Chains A and B, each alone.
Chain A
Amino acid sequence: MSADRIKGAKGTGGLSRRGALIGAASLAGLGLTKAALAKPLAEVLSTKKLRAGINPTLVPFGVFNQQNQIDGFDADIAREIARQMRVELEIVQVGSPDRIPFLQADRIDIVLGAITRTVERALVIDYTIPLHTQSVVILTKQSGTAVPIAKPADLDNPAVRLVQVRGTVGIPWIQANAPKAQVTLLDNYPDTFRALQQGRADAMVDVLESIVVPMKNVAGVQWKVLDEVLASTWVGIGVQKGNTTLKDVLNIVLFEMHRSGFVGKTWEKWFGVPMKTPVPMNPMF
């Protein structure tokens, strides 16, 4: 083995993208140039192109279909938005850590991917009116848990091991309601389900919409979703802060998509059941 081989960079597979992101972000942060502004409406219309950031690991909001193209609930919604605005849709694959930088660096015009509306996030991006809701529930197993888990209060126990995807809405709920539990944070849903399946954890607090499809694909586990809805969250589509020209149009397009039943039908197509907490019709926004 030659000396340069020894010094060679080690393969870090999936981290290269994150590394590049962090590198780019730090360059932007350190030697700050004025960041690109997102395309306002006029530019979307003149280029006849709308770029939507979609996360294909968030099944069924985003999925890779048999042709290895991005499909799913979010893709259907984005296609319908583009159709109504009479522009072409370009789907851009994004992940959790890089979706906001993509928006801010003008690589995408809108971002989907079940982005829960919070005050803190609203300081950074702008949201459209709600596209859908999510219901926070507890996913556990029929057997093989450290202690029996039958109600939310059972989680607040030092013997309980929870596993969560980083940055999901279940985490603040756990901090407030089950501070005694042990929590492991992983990067994505496939890893968290594997951790539950392998007995690394007893339960997960997350939105029903994120777990309902993946849990069916995990073999050999008797899942149990507790009935209680711990909280409902509201999910809008994200646009760059201050991009009101685009946001105002999207609001009206979304309202019409709710009114025509397109959102509801598309939801049932991908989830197999109606939305647990419906989005009420409200023409004032």
Chain B
Amino acid sequence: MFADILNYILDLGAAIFLPIIMIILGLIMKMKPRKAIIAGLTLGVAFTGMNLVLGFMFDTISPVAQEFVKNTGIQFNTIDVGWSPMSAISWAWPYALLMFPVQIVLNIIILALNKTNVLNVDLWNVWGKIFTATMVAAITNSVILGFAAAIVQIILELKIGELNQKQIYEVTKIPGVTCTHYMTLQCVIMNPVNKLLDFIPGLKDSKMNADKLKDKIGIFGENSVMGFIIGGIIALVAGYTVKDSLNIAIKVATALVLFPMVAKLFMQALAPIADAAGEYMKKKFKDREIFIGLDWPFMAGQSEIWVVAILLVPLELLFAILMSKMGLSNILPLAGIVNIIVVVPALIVTGGNLIRMLILSIIFTPFYLFVSSSFAPFVTDLARKVGTINIPDGQMISYFGVEAPFFRWIISNGLAGDILGIIGMIIFAVCYYFFVKEMKKRNANL
């Protein structure tokens, strides 16, 4: 009987059942009914809106991508839809909301045991743990292992945030905070490569002024501009007329501009709950000196980030073509093509050295292509379950900016018993050991 009711509710779809849970949660947390209902409905609107834009984008680009493949012989069967639809798909996972208590309780326990001094209040990015869990669960067929992987990720975020705190302060001069976003997990494997760069003369202390460069090329960082250019180029190469290409270009630009606008609705809906949980956690540790773990945008003022992300764009497309030819990837970078995700960890590891950031970002770009392609069947499967968008057979969606590609790939494949995954886990562990050593040494000197 109970199972029947539960199944009926889950069957209503994420856009209905999550708002219901949200309203109940809000009332339990003593939100005013008016606020709880608005928050709940906003969540449903966010899901539906995301489906709408995702469907629009897919309908626009899917035939173009097929023509592109026919015309060029380059296999781009997977379309990069960016992180915002991915967050929606993650939130719609049936076990998603359980990740809130897991992260909060785990953080409190680790703080209480004095094993960290970081409190992660960024409860929006709980979705990144959910995403890891969904991929691990899909590949290992075990929801338990999915949560186990998410727990490892939560701990790593805290420990890496702690190790990076001084370096981030040096770059941003904002006291009392650090970054606990999972993109920083890439710092662990970027560190040894950065050490190798020490051997190249002239790179050690090269200083460049990124501010002026950003003024010149910053326009390409705009979603509308990049969407228009890339959409137009793909359509032209696919053999469309100029008129049709221009129309496709503006539609892709539209989708890329609308994605973050819809994603904002998720934030609005989740804000009251995230805020209440954050306040609760802060209150618990108000007598202790702790660093507050935040999402990455407080570093967004560094011009180097944007300059490197924009310079990377043509190289990403080149790599995508080359790796597709080699059968290593099949994703067409699109919505996530301004890949800040790879640049921010490079900023932290190099301490803001522009040339080194660029070199590291280039070297690590193939990881994002490979892993996003390898996750594509699972992402597509999840998206089909959640949404109303119609993804034809043979076509897939994924997201190029998969934040912690190395970690996510090794943990999902390693836990599934894949030998490469297990070797990767060992490599990651060794890199982590050296990363801890390096950052401790650096922190002592800063």
Tell me if chain B binds chain A: no
- Interface residues of chain B, those whose CB is within 8 Å of chain A, are none
